[in-house]
Structure 1
């Protein structure tokens, strides 16, 4: 997927703190827990709850969020379609990383087993 520079800039400047409550609502409304959400985010990024909270308080953009992340080497195993885009075809690294996170949270909300979500 090719994106425009405007699209890439817009998505990079979204704050994680502005999207995080939506992640919580999505998973909790489907019977999953905040602890499971944090486990998924931690698996992808390497962030523990303290680091995650600090980034939320700092209102870190997605660009900053993923620049500080230690992306899991198995993140490349995350494939499929999210938000109408096939993850494997996304060319912009930051956009791909954000879609990785979206896909994991979507799988969590859909009731997938944690072992499958975490690509174990």
Structure 2
């Protein structure tokens, strides 16, 4: 059975990421920077995927270059340790959730991007 989240359009969660970041004084550009770092998409491709309402499974499945440094993302999201999750789509989604969380909490961009 496919998780309901996997079939949701990325365009439906994207505004929530932006809103969370902006409530804490961060910007849409910073959210985009995090997404591009994680997935390897270009800004133009990200915009196209959002406009096309590409589902989350396809969004991550077709990511040109999932950043190998994402393995350095640790901590809990929704009470679950991201580094202990079964590798796969849900872990990739939670990696992005965690990065947006760190951004919203005011972490420096170099730290968020594991530089």
Pairwise TM-score range, normalised by the shorter structure: over 0.9
TM-score normalised according to structure 1 size: 0.90
The structure-2 alpha-carbon separation of the partners of 1:13 and 1:92, relative to structure 1 and needing over 3 Å to count, comes to: farther
RMSD of the TM alignment (CA)?
Answer: 1.1
- Pick from 43, 46, 50: which aligns with 1:56? 50
TM-score normalised according to structure 2 size: 0.94
Runs of 4+ in 1 over 6 A off after TM superposition: none
Aligned ranges 1:31-110 → 2 under 5 Å: 31-69=25-63, 70-110=65-105
Stretches of structure 2 that go unaligned for 5 or more consecutive residues are: none
Stretches of structure 1 that go unaligned for 5 or more consecutive residues are: none
CA deviation after TM superposition for structure 1 residue 94, in Å: 0.1
CA deviation after TM superposition for structure 1 residue 92, in Å: 4.6
CA displacement, residues 14-53 of structure 1 (integer Å, 9 cap, x when unaligned):
2110001111111011100111111111100011221111
